[in-house]
Amino acid sequence: MNNEKINTAQTEKKKESNSEIIFAEDGFSILIAANQLSVAVNLFAPQNENGQIMFSKIKSELINAGIKTEIQDEVIKSAVVQFNNDKIPVSGIVVSVGADNQKGKDGWFELLCGDKLNNESKGKFDGKIDGIISLKQDDLIGAIHMPLNGKDGMDVFGKIIPAEHGKKYEISLGENVYTKEKIIISIYSSIDGFLNIKSNIISVTELLTIYEDIDYRCGNIIGYGSIKVLGNVMNGYYLNLKNNIDVGGYVGDSELVAGNNIKILGGFMGAGSGKIKAGGNIDVKFVQDQQIYCRGSLNFIREIVHSKIYVKDNITGKGNHASIIGGYTVAGKGIEIYSCGNEYGLNTIIEAGYDYEIKDILLRNRTKINELKKELKKIDKDIFGYTEMKRLNEAMYKKLKLLADRHKEIIDDMKKLNDENKELIQAVRKYSGAYVKILNTIYPGTKITINRKSFLVKEKLFSKTFQLSEDKEIILV
């Protein structure tokens, strides 16, 4: 190689700082990219007699250099023809390429539960959960997707470039979760409760603990487990839990609904819009101007004032401050309190001996029966009007048939409602032995009703038990 060829090659090498020149002679040089994924050819003036560059020479040197990937013959031929005609140097003609490796995809966790998920956020998981997510037993929590393998590459010399495979997503299973494994590992809750993900450990707990008040910071909570609130439940919030609710402070004008028990260490007080519903028992310190619906028994410590209390089983006041003052109170079985009413003769209604839900159904059914009777009376009048006509056209016949069909529907509906009421009345009669026991003072203005028999207290009484005699009259013991 003469000095001119060497100088030309050096010049080309400076221009291709990211490539390596592996051949430079006879009017062309061969360059290999730094990553060895492409081969390029530069064309410049040859030193032969006719000043022509030969395609066959370029192809031969590429093969001699060890190029194993496909050589683009037509690209080289076209460039050679152009140079031989124009004598203009050409640089960077890519004549063969390899294939880089393809990186695999890391495994990931897809969160598939929670009301707050929408089409945009669903599945995107950054290791934290926003808000409170409640789950039923066997609810799907999320899925662990397996990593995807990458694809090997190959450089222009035929050397394999190993793929970088995806990494497995690391998450541990805590308590009360289980998996189903297929291509994707799906994670499910084994209990009713609340989702917890911490330090990449996923678990479900039956009890959700709120270490502060229920207020704007956490909002309303609806869930399938239990909740323990260490603070208060402020005005205007809604808790609905499948199991238990435990409040360490007081409850204001909010609504609490529990499938089982409710316990309030403080009082339940407000302006009258608060409501508590429990499928089991309720324990509360005191109640003022609120509503309670309890399918078990109610226990309280101080007083119930100007409230509406509906209890299926028993009401028990514990201690010498357990009084009922004003309002309306009913228990299915029995009531035992320290005192009732006050010295001002405040109207205080206390009832025992029936299930309040049964009574409500009876009243609704009777109202519906009365409405059906009114409708039936009007239909009968219309039908009679048609029968008095000597001649009916087709439209009248259709109208008469509709009236007759509706007449039959009403009769059937009334029979069903009356049959249901008979069963409900029998259920009410099962509440025999109901009583109201007052350990201390019973003030005038108190009205006590047992199984629809009433007794109005007109003078101050002390330490009496009200119950029905064998002839269904209230007696004082």
Report how far residue 353's alpha carbon sits from residue 312's, in angstroms, rounded to the nearest whole number: 9
Question: Which structure tokens are listed for 26?
Answer: 């006879």
Closest CA to 144 of 126, 171, 113: 171
pLDDT score of 120 = 36
HSE, side-chain direction, 13 A CA sphere, residue 216: 0
- CA dist 303 → 43, 134, 284, 286, 317 (Å): 103, 35, 10, 5, 8
pLDDT score of 78 = 93
Per DSSP, the three-state class of 153 is: strand
Phi, psi angles (nearest 5°) of residue 188: -125, 155
- CA dist 285 → 263, 291, 317, 329, 330 (Å): 9, 14, 10, 16, 18
Do strands 207-210 and 226-229 pair parallel, antiparallel, or not at all (unpaired)?
parallel
- Residues in Cβ contact with 432 at an 8 Å cutoff, skipping those fewer than 6 apart: 353, 451, 468
Q: How many CB atoms lie within 10 A of CB 42?
A: 24
Concatenate the DSSP letters of all residues of 53-89 into one string: --HHHHHHHHHHTT--SPP-HHHHHHHHHHHHHH---
Per DSSP, the three-state class of 381 is: helix
Closest CA to 166 of 115, 105, 207, 216: 105
* Domain range list for the chain: 3-97, 108-205, 207-356+435-476, 357-429
Greatest alpha-carbon pair distance for the chain in Å reads 140
Report how far residue 230's alpha carbon sits from residue 249's, in angstroms, rounded to the nearest whole number: 7
Task: Give, for all 477 residues of the chain, the pLDDT tens digit.
Answer: 334 443 444 444 444 457 888 888 889 999 999 999 999 999 998 887 788 888 999 999 999 999 999 999 999 999 999 999 988 999 999 999 999 999 999 988 888 887 544 333 344 455 667 678 888 899 999 888 889 999 999 999 999 999 999 998 888 888 999 988 877 888 999 999 999 888 888 999 999 999 999 999 889 999 999 999 999 999 999 999 999 999 999 999 999 999 999 999 999 999 999 999 999 999 999 999 999 999 999 999 999 999 999 999 999 999 888 999 999 999 999 999 999 999 999 999 999 998 889 888 999 999 999 999 999 999 999 988 888 887 888 888 889 899 999 999 999 999 999 999 998 888 776 666 899 999 999 999 999 999 888 999 999 999 999 998 877 777 676
- Strands in 348-352's sheet, in edge-to-edge order, are 221-223, 238-241, 255-258, 275-278, 291-294, 308-311, 328-331, 348-352, 446-450, 453-456
Question: Which structure tokens are listed for 462?
Answer: 């002390």
Report how far residue 379's alpha carbon sits from residue 385's, in angstroms, rounded to the nearest whole number: 10
Angle CA 183–187–190, to nearest 5? 140
pLDDT score of 128 = 65
pLDDT score of 4 = 42
pLDDT score of 181 = 80
Exposed (0-12), middle (13-18) or buried (19+): which is 256, by Cβ within 10 Å? buried
